[in-house]
Chains A and B, each alone.
Chain A
Amino acid sequence: MNIGKALANRSFCVGLIVTSLIALVALLSFVWAPYPVGAFDIAGKLKPPSAAHWLGTDHFGRDILSMIMVGSRNSIAVASVSVAIGAGIGVPLGLWGAATGGFVDEVLMRLNDLVFAFPALLSAVMITTVFGPGAINAIIAIGIFNIPVFARVARAAALSLWSREFVIAAGAIGKSPALITRDHILPNLASLLIVQATIQFSLGILAEAGLSYVGLGSQPPMPSWGRMLFEAQTMIGLAPHMALFPGLAIVITVLGLNLLGDGLHDVLDPRFQ
């Protein structure tokens, strides 16, 4: 990767800064938050932003800044594990399909289509309803629907690589398809997969917020951005800050990740080099 070129790319820089800030906040929340999120102070509920509570308090008198900080852990954890599930299963499947072709490829891709045929969030709702709401089930649900995304990206890119000269040459000297995939295909796919992972990560954060909003994500007392939005809904006239700040947190995080993904795409894509 060309550092100079990367630094010249504005969306990459902005995206990287925003994303790193959020990661830092999440890490910070492990050691410090302004107030403990388990502490209710009913008498001090629905207070607007002030010096004591920078982003105000919610309907239980909890500090919203602390809730957002601790909630970021939840969002990041759910999104990253579900991306890991999707990439960990989807990429090998896609590469396998591209390497073998024929019947195996056909079966894998049709299975992919099957999963794809359901809108991701709807299926996530289905899974969490059947197996019960909770962070773990949300991770599994979002993870499953990351699999075909990665499988497709990996397969499509691998297929075009399989017809390139250096791959054909590697085959000619007797290298097995598995070895070729490991040594030649995967390294050339890496940049593409990183970009895809960034995008899926931001989608994962949105999906987690959506599931929590309808009550199927992580459960109280663990703070969650989506649930904070849900709780704010009926109080919008009383305490608009309750909806504003978790909403902003989601927007900024997703925007940062999308900018980063966009920037990475430009920086890493060999066609632009």
Chain B
Amino acid sequence: MKSWKLAIAGVAISLVMSSASYAAKTDLVLGIVLEPPHLDPTAGAAAAIDEIVYANIFEGLTRIGAKGNVLPALAESWAQSEDGKLYTFKLRKDVKFHDGTSFDAGDVKFSLDRARGDKSTNAQKGLFSAIDTVDVVDPLTVKVALKQPSGDFLYNMGWGDAVIVAPESAGTNKDKPVGTGPFEFDSWAKGSQIVIAKNAGYWGKPALLDKATFRVIPDPAAATAALLAGDVQAFPVFPSYETIPQFQADPRFKVVIGTTEGETVLGMNNKKPPFDNQKVRQAIAHAIDRKSLIDGAMFGFGTPIGSFFPPHHPAYIDLTAETAYDPEFAKKLLAEAGHPDGFKTTLKLPPPTYARRGGEIIAAELREIGIEAEIIPVEWAQWLDQVFKNKDYDMTIVSHTEPNDLNIFSRDDYYFNYDSPAFKDLIKQIDATSDGVERTGLYQQAQKLLTKDVPAAFLFQLPKTGIWDAKIEGLWENGPIQANDLTAVKWLD
């Protein structure tokens, strides 16, 4: 008898041991290039915030899915009135914030009113500009009245800047974010990493990971080393393009080249001579060889663009031929503009590889047509202050990674200093149009106008260069919005 028991115990133990060692991993370390300044998506423009909290910690009424489509989130369903000006949102039941307080219509009203209020520090107040009033009907129903019909309203409510926060925790979200998402904030070691953990009380389908760590690795060489060594198991936006082929050849890794909303542009100060002359801007656009730029700076990863619109969008038209590489024509345009011998100018470059390397190539190409552009490398803080805020620059290179951001060229006081009544009018029409076909037509008119005016030289669409362990599943292939949605991520085997 005794030996029987022993044998059974032995088998049981070995079964437990083996199942433990074969159970799939439930923690994940992701590499990110930039550390967020804080973790409140309703109070900062930094993409790095959304890359951690969006869909993981915070949720909005709607959310943007992996294909860029609008999905229900905290709003279970909605109805739109006949005239398109009134939305009625039906909210989910039994939703709790991470601090235990419950979610109801009051939180929605609070969040939307806070975001569009006078004291709002929201970086994308434009998302809420269509809203007239927000009314609580009952704890699970909210009515949002718009000033005019808006084709983008449901999409806008899915942005990270429009997530729902609780009045109890809204003030402290920067350091200790409290949302309703499938993950809750765990810890933040400044300069090193941010950890989020599974929210056991989540209302929806629970997360498959128990823990996710976002490790900050700004240096491309260190990013390569960390991935190879297994210190990080996923790099959703890998910064070192030249080492991608090495990972493509390695069966331990999966390399996924997807699309992003990042239009990379050579921004020009449209109010500062000689860039106030359209011919000068056109000359610069014609002097740039996008192919060698993408090959040289991005090692071939990137899609050339001729206007400010993502190539994967249904309304995209390829306008690259309009400003094709033609240095002779560029010289002719410069001469017509009164600069036959070119001129001296500056080119301020923020830290990312696409800007620093791309800047060297563009400066060399501009030299060919007589423009001497002095390269000035700047850090992000300096770039935001000098270029973005104070418009103290001649030319700069940057990627605009927000989705649906064609309207930046219609904003007064935006850093391009571009002021076109015709374009502003087009954007107004787009905003007020819900009809798909009509919208597409307007989008295409807007693209053509930008290509003709060249408020910035349009270079290429930034790729989403994702590299992760071949045994990981569920990470987004494309980047329709700035996010690393981990809700469906799991380890195979």
Contact = CB atoms under 8 A, between A and B. Distances in A.
Contact of A42 (B245, B296, B367): B296
Given A133-B377, A219-B375, A234 B220 contact: yes
**Which 7 pairs, one residue from A and one from B, show the smallest C-beta to C-beta distance?**
A42-B292, A42-B296, A233-B221, A42-B295, A234-B221, A234-B240, A40-B364
A42 B357 CA distance: 12
* Chain B CB within 10 A, most for which of A42, A235, A238: A42
A222 to B, nearest CB: 10
Contacts of A38: 364, 367
B361 interface: yes
A247 B363 CA distance: 26
Contacts of A40: 292, 296, 361, 364-365
B292 A234 contact: no
Given A40-B364, A42-B361, A235-B242, A220 B292 contact: no
A220 B246 contact: no
A88 interface: no
B376 to A, nearest CB: 8
A53 interface: no
Interface string B90-102: 0000000000000
Contacts of B246: 237-238
A237 B244 CA distance: 11
B224 interface: yes
B243 interface: yes
B477 interface: no
Nearest to B360: A220
Contacts of A45: 295-296
Interface in B108-123: none
Interface residues of B, number: 22
Nearest to A61: B296
A192 B228 CA distance: 51
* Chain A CB within 10 A, most for which of B246, B296, B365: B296
A219 B292 contact: no
A60 B367 contact: no
Contact of A220 (B224, B296, B363): B363
Nearest to A45: B296
Given A38-B364, A42-B361, A59 B221 contact: no
A60 B360 contact: yes
A178 B364 CA distance: 54
Contact of A60 (B220, B296, B374, B375): B296
A49 interface: no
Interface in B280-336: 292, 295-296
- Dominant secondary structure at the B interface: helix
A219 B375 CA distance: 7
A159 B242 CA distance: 58
A59 B296 contact: yes
Given A219-B374, A219-B375, A234-B242, 14 more contacts: A38-B364, A40-B364, A43-B295, A45-B296, A59-B296, A60-B360, A60-B364, A219-B376, A220-B363, A221-B367, A234-B243, A235-B242, A238-B243, A238-B245
25 contacts: A39-B364, A40-B292, A40-B296, A42-B292, A42-B296, A42-B361, A43-B292, A45-B296, A59-B296, A60-B361, A60-B364, A133-B377, A215-B377, A219-B375, A220-B375, A221-B360, A221-B363, A221-B367, A234-B220, A234-B224, A234-B240, A235-B242, A238-B242, A238-B243, A238-B245
Nearest to A231: B357
Nearest to A230: B221
Contacts of A133: 377
Interface string A214-252: 010001110000000000011101100000000000000
A45 to B, nearest CB: 7
Interface in A60-100: 60-61
A257 to B, nearest CB: 29
A233 B221 CA distance: 7
Contacts of A60: 296, 360-361, 364
Contacts of B374: 219
A220 B362 CA distance: 12
A235 B357 CA distance: 14
Interface string A182-198: 00000000000000000
A215 B376 CA distance: 11
Interface string B173-197: 0000000000000000000000000
A243 to B, nearest CB: 11
Nearest to B373: A221
A221 B362 CA distance: 11
Interface string B333-369: 0000000000000000000000001001101110100
Interface string A4-41: 00000000000000000000000000000000001110
Nearest to B379: A129
Nearest to A233: B221
Contacts of B296: 40, 42, 45, 59-61
Contacts of A234: 220-221, 224, 240, 242-243
Contacts of A220: 360, 363, 375
Contacts of B363: 220-221
B406 to A, nearest CB: 30
A38 B246 CA distance: 29
Contacts of A132: 376
Interface string B212-226: 000000001100100
Contacts of A237: 243, 246
A60 B296 CA distance: 6
Contacts of B365: 40
Nearest to A129: B379
A237 B227 CA distance: 15
* Chain B CB within 10 A, most for which of A40, A235, A238: A40
A38 B242 CA distance: 22
B364 A221 contact: yes
A233 B224 CA distance: 11
A203 to B, nearest CB: 25
B154 to A, nearest CB: 42
A153 to B, nearest CB: 36
A132 B292 CA distance: 30
Contacts of A233: 221
Interface in B53-110: none
Interface string B410-426: 00000000000000000
A45 B246 CA distance: 17
Contact of A59 (B224, B242, B243, B376): B242
Interface in B221-253: 221, 224, 240, 242-243, 245-246
Nearest to A60: B296
A45 B295 CA distance: 9
Contacts of B224: 234
